[in-house]
Amino acid sequence: MAQIEPMFNKHYQAAADANVIVKNKPGFLHAIIVGDAVASSVIEVSDSASDGDGNVKIYLAGDALGPATYLVNARFDNGITADITSQTHVTFIFR
């Protein structure tokens, strides 16, 4: 019996960090799932294979971003890289 490949992949990031490489080549970001409410948090997602401060396409900031799911549905021509400030427990759903 053939296995069915999942439609999307996931990248889980437990702690805040800079230059979190979700995908180091072109891709499609479907959603960002934020698991915790954290004060003064920022999630910045760039169209880059290595630099979270590169060509910023998504910028989420707030006193408490989560818990929530943010639908993105955006194409990234170079890669998907994020800078995450203060926020914890973030999952990127991509292909």
Sequence spans of domains, the chain: 19-94
> Tell me, what's the pLDDT at 1?
63
Cα distances (angstroms) measured from residue 62 to each of 9, 51, 59:
26, 22, 10
Give residue 8's pLDDT band: very low, low, confident or very high (50, 70, 90): very high
Q: What is the pTM of this model?
A: 0.90
Question: How do residues 39-77 score in pLDDT, each as one tens digit?
Answer: 899 999 999 999 988 799 999 998 878 899 999 999 999
- Yes or no: say if 63 and 49 are a contact pair by the CB < 8 Å rule: no
What is the rounded distance in angstroms from the CA atom of residue 74 to the CA atom of residue 85? Answer: 22
pLDDT of 86 reads: 93
Q: Check residue 68 and give its pLDDT.
A: 94
Q: Residue 6 above 80 pLDDT?
A: no
Name the 3-class secondary structure at 50.
coil
Q: Is 53 helix (H, G, I), strand (E, B) or coil?
A: coil
Cα gap 28→26, rounded to integer Å: 7
- Give 87's pLDDT tier (boundaries 50, 70, 90): very high
**Distance of alpha carbon 66 from alpha carbon 87, whole angstroms:** 9
